[in-house]
Structure 1
Amino acid sequence: MLHLVWLKRDLRLHDHAALQAALQGLQQQGGKLALLYAVEPGVWSQPDSSLRQWQFVRESLLDLQQQLPANAALWLIPADLPDVLPRLQHALAMPIRLYSHLETGNLFSYRRDQAVQRVCRQLGIVWQESAQQGVRRASRSNPHNRDDWAAHWAGFMEQPQHPTPLLSDAPWLACPLPDALPMSALPLQLGFDQTPCPGRQFGGRSAGLAVLHSFLSQRGQYYRGSLGSPLSAEHHASRLSSYLAWGCLSVREVLQATRAALSQHKEDGADRRWLNSLGAFESRLWWHCHFIQKLEDEPLQEQQPLHPAWAGVREFNANWYNAWAHGQTGWPLADACMHYLQHHGWLNFRMRAMLMSLASYPLWLPWQQPALHLARAFTDYEPGIHYPQVQMQSGTTGINPPRMYNPTLQAQKQDPHGVFIRRWLPQLAQVPDSWIHQPWGMSQRLQAQCGVIIGRDYPAPLVDFEQATRLARERIRQLRQQPEYFSNAAGIGQKHGSRKRSPARSPRKKAVSKDQLSLF
């Protein structure tokens, strides 16, 4: 029997439940072991995929190979897994037992997994999925229920990590596969979007462990007060999101490492800022799984609004969308953030929320296309966080109050001297501090002195923000007057809402949750 571990978003050996299950199967049943990563054309042609994501994955696979013994069977097959399994079984002429982690991905991966399940039934392959974070799949015996989810999450996270196994003596299958790629032949370019990302993080577990260590020992002291500004967040945010999204690190090992560091800082009498910051980071790891559970419970929210009243409400304006996507809105902080994101593949959470809010309220764009654009731009794209957050920031959940981030006020607060804006919008380099957040207000004479003519060198705002958000609020008010709006929202809150706090509210207001933490 072949015990085959299918690697997806779990590119590591440590705390790897599927690998441990395969090793246990070997002990009980005997047989051979192999690891498989399918370079799936279907996955990498999806409109939420990008070159920057593939490059991170490719580096992670190269790093993974370095952690394996020389005789290890790590197969890299350029095909979608439902097509791989029949060919594999025919070529090997032996029964296969398949192991993988339980993935909460995009709709394509959801349907791909359904196809894998059908193929496994047809071929008599037993497929065992293992949880790798505090997200659980509904079943007849365990239907969707948030009431005991926090206890489930805590129990999972407190379990010991699966140790890195000693694989040098494992019974690796030595049979070569004719269509497998050598590691050196991994494609250099995959992904729907091919925009270069020169400033992105380097992939792989080795890089992820270094980032984790630097955060817990050095950078994390000012984490709590630094997340809002793109200037300070670049250094003091954890920067672990890409390594968690692609499984170079497990959420459990990061959580337990955080708790150990917090305990050590307490013993050392560290500055109170350390304790507050690591406590805040630990709570975010809880919310990380909380949001992924939302997509697990309702996969269609990648395409459909969570609250049905929001279907078809907004209007797509191609010119406004393109201006937003290319950093040409006329709001300097928003445009600087979009340019920064394209260069780095990462952006701090508040600025992500601001970009989505601008698309959704003053520009009144349907959220689906902005969501795909941001998904492609994020190296740390995690569908289970991305789509619930997109719907939260665009107001389509029915349970979250609309957050209309004013880009000028955000700029004055998060980049008061325009350092970030000038770095990413060099055409505004000579604009004085007094006008850097609202350059459209400069006189023609001052524009000429600064070398930037609004409407020629840099655009005026697409819309008047105050006027556009007033109109958005009126539209929302009318939407909420629909007879079943709040009863539908109450059902959504029951299914997806956090149980961390449940203050007494009137039935009408109970559906609107103010304690849903933003992970953008």
Structure 2
Amino acid sequence: MNTEKALVWFRRDLRDTDHAPLAAALSQAGQVYCVFVFDRSILDALPSRADRRVDFIHGSLVALDAALRARGGGLIVRHGHTQDEIPALAQHLGVDHVFAGRDYEPAAKTRDAEVGERLAARGIRLHLVKDQAVFDGDSVLTQAGKPFTVFTPYKNAWLKRLTAADIAPIDSRGALAPAPEGSIPSLAEIGFAPTNLAALGIEPGMAGAARLWADFCAGRLQRYASLRDFPAIKGVSYLSVHLRFGTLSIRELARTALAEQADSWLNELIWRDFYFMIMDRFPHAAVRAFKPEYDAIQWDDWPEGLAAWQQGRTGYPLVDAAMRQLNHSGWMHNRLRMVVASFLTKDLGIDWRQGERYFADWLNDFDLSANNGGWQWAASSGCDAQPYFRIFNPVTQSEKFDPEGRFIRRYVPELARVPDKYLHAPWTLPRREQEALGVIIGRDYPAPIVNHAAAREKTLARYSVVKKGG
């Protein structure tokens, strides 16, 4: 009889199926407990006590606890500082091992190292298991044995390295040690309030993930490449928050994409692994430009411009609609993330870190690796980024990806009556027609905060320090 005990520390893997740390614990120990920590080091720094992510996590924990109890176990939930809570609980339960999914963010790696040291001092071993990525560590390297810094060769090597075993489901079934009843504190008990998740149609937990995944696979997965860039169309998966918190397995998504030959969708999953790898191997990117020469750029200190961008009142309808969507729902279409990031950095001349921080505060699916990678891509300072002289035109982007203005009109209702011809650049609408429609630019909707052509020239000059080598 196996007398060893293990504790599975859930983090961003809030499911009980196809779960690598849980499977590893069940194979190692006869008694397996499960825990989640509401980490005050993270929660206390959040800008609002009504945070959709905390609400989503809480709902997902309730569902996870129910699934674990159906197996004879349950979820122990703590609210405190992880470095204190995990070692104390592990010692209290008398476990020999703690298992958790590997994380790649600098702060998380520092936390895990400290937890590992404190556990080791108690004679307990911490095992960090790959779960949220298909490949990590040294799995995908250049022929010189170094990490890739360009996506396409990384993708090619990733695909060449892939075998069926890498994305096969992991059997994490098995009986669990019981947990005390009523272990999950309410949102109020951890200092938070309910949000509008239900009104937004966001269902936390494994059931919510399964519903969205089935809906996506029913028709849109095969058409993803042709639909993905149009925010007014239901073309994407809407799974990002579920991927962020692990309510479904990356292996299942990759397995299905490969089987369906949905290459465009699979590319997005490979980008996810790529950005995890970049953050893991180049942690300086979390706070500085990935390409050091881009730290020489002098950004404008423009609080009013930043506020206008944040509030969706720049005078550029697609940018404003996207920012209002973010503020309302905590989500933004990926095409629009690129548009608004380019606008902040290359039209307003504001440091990409200001935009990255705002997204970090408001995105339901905020993930440091992907968020940082996307912002540095837009600012041209990241790995495999767009060239600094490629500057999105917010008007032509609007005309191309929201040609009928359906998305704009949904989030910028003051422009609802503006004809398609003028909707993407409403300041070109003749004054007489503005008055007839009751939409005066500069009164009912802002005039453009910058002139794009002039801003483009200023940006090219700003980036000249990079061209000159500093």
TM norm. shorter chain > 0.5? yes
Report how many residues are paired: 451
What code does the residue aligned with 2:122 have? L
Instruction: Name the structure 2 match of 1:21.
Output: 24
Q: Percent identity?
A: 26
Instruction: Name the structure 2 match of 1:317.
Output: 302
2:162 match: secondary structure:
helix
How far apart, CA to CA, are the structure 1 residues paired with 2:164 and 2:280? 17
Instruction: Name the structure 1 match of 2:271.
Output: 287
Instruction: Name the structure 2 match of 1:271.
Output: none
Match of 1:4 among 4, 7, 11: 7
How far apart, CA to CA, are the structure 1 residues paired with 2:366 and 2:108? 14
Instruction: Name the structure 2 match of 1:154.
Output: 162
Taking structure 1 as reference, are residues 405 and 115 closer, same or farther at Cα in structure 2, changes over 3 Å only?
same
Q: Is structure 2 residue 362 aligned with structure 1 residue 397?
A: no
Instruction: Name the structure 2 match of 1:425.
Output: 412
Instruction: Name the structure 2 match of 1:456.
Output: 443
Does the CA contact (< 8 Å) of 2:167 and 2:252 recur in 1? no
Instruction: Name the structure 2 match of 1:416.
Output: 403
Instruction: Name the structure 2 match of 1:102.
Output: 102
Please give the per-residue CA displacement for 1:430-472, whole angstroms capped at 9, x wherever unaligned.
2222211111223333222221222222111111011101111
State the Cα distance separating 1:352 from its structure 2 match: 0.6
Q: Is structure 2 residue 402 aligned with structure 1 residue 407?
A: no
State the Cα distance separating 1:279 from its structure 2 match: 2.5
Q: Is structure 2 residue 118 aligned with structure 1 residue 119?
A: yes
How far apart, CA to CA, are the structure 2 residues paired with 1:187 and 1:143? 50
Q: Which runs of 5+ in 2 are unaligned?
A: none
TM-score, normalised with respect to structure 2:
0.88
How far apart, CA to CA, are the structure 2 residues paired with 1:307 and 1:294? 12
1:391 match: secondary structure:
helix
Does the CA contact (< 8 Å) of 2:68 and 2:74 recur in 1? no
Instruction: Name the structure 2 match of 1:308.
Output: 292
State the Cα distance separating 1:377 from its structure 2 match: 2.4
Please give the per-residue CA displacement for 1:56-104, whole angstroms capped at 9, x wherever unaligned.
2112112212222354141000012111134325534x24311000012
Q: Is structure 2 residue 85 aligned with structure 1 residue 81?
A: no
Instruction: Name the structure 1 match of 2:253.
Output: 254
State the Cα distance separating 1:194 from its structure 2 match: 9.6
Taking structure 1 as reference, are residues 255 and 48 closer, same or farther at Cα in structure 2, changes over 3 Å only?
farther
2:128 match: secondary structure:
strand
How far apart, CA to CA, are the structure 2 residues paired with 1:153 and 1:371? 32
Please give the per-residue CA displacement for 1:84-137, whole angstroms capped at 9, x wherever unaligned.
134325534x243110000123x4323322321232232222000110123423
Instruction: Name the structure 2 match of 1:240.
Output: 239
State the Cα distance separating 1:138 from its structure 2 match: 5.9
Match of 1:387 among 359, 369, 372: 372
How far apart, CA to CA, are the structure 1 residues paired with 2:19 and 2:246? 9
- 1:38-437 map, 5 Å: 38-46=37-45, 51-70=51-70, 71-89=72-90, 91-92=92-93, 94-105=94-105, 107-132=106-131, 133-137=133-137, 144-146=146-148, 150=158, 154-155=162-163, 158-167=166-175, 170=176, 172-173=177-178, 176=180, 182-183=183-184, 185-187=186-188, 198-199=199-200, 201-232=202-233, 235-260=234-259, 262=260, 278-311=262-295, 313-397=298-382, 399-400=384-385, 401-402=387-388, 403-437=390-424
Q: Which runs of 5+ in 1 are unaligned?
A: 263-274, 484-520
Taking structure 1 as reference, are residues 156 and 128 closer, same or farther at Cα in structure 2, changes over 3 Å only?
farther
1:294 match: secondary structure:
helix
What code does the residue aligned with 1:129 have? L
Please give the per-residue CA displacement for 1:181-224, whole angstroms capped at 9, x wherever unaligned.
63363448768x99856426221111111211121122334311
Does the CA contact (< 8 Å) of 1:408 and 1:438 recur in 2? yes
Taking structure 1 as reference, are residues 465 and 205 closer, same or farther at Cα in structure 2, changes over 3 Å only?
same
State the Cα distance separating 1:418 from its structure 2 match: 1.7
Taking structure 1 as reference, are residues 369 and 453 closer, same or farther at Cα in structure 2, changes over 3 Å only?
same
TM-score, normalised with respect to structure 1:
0.80
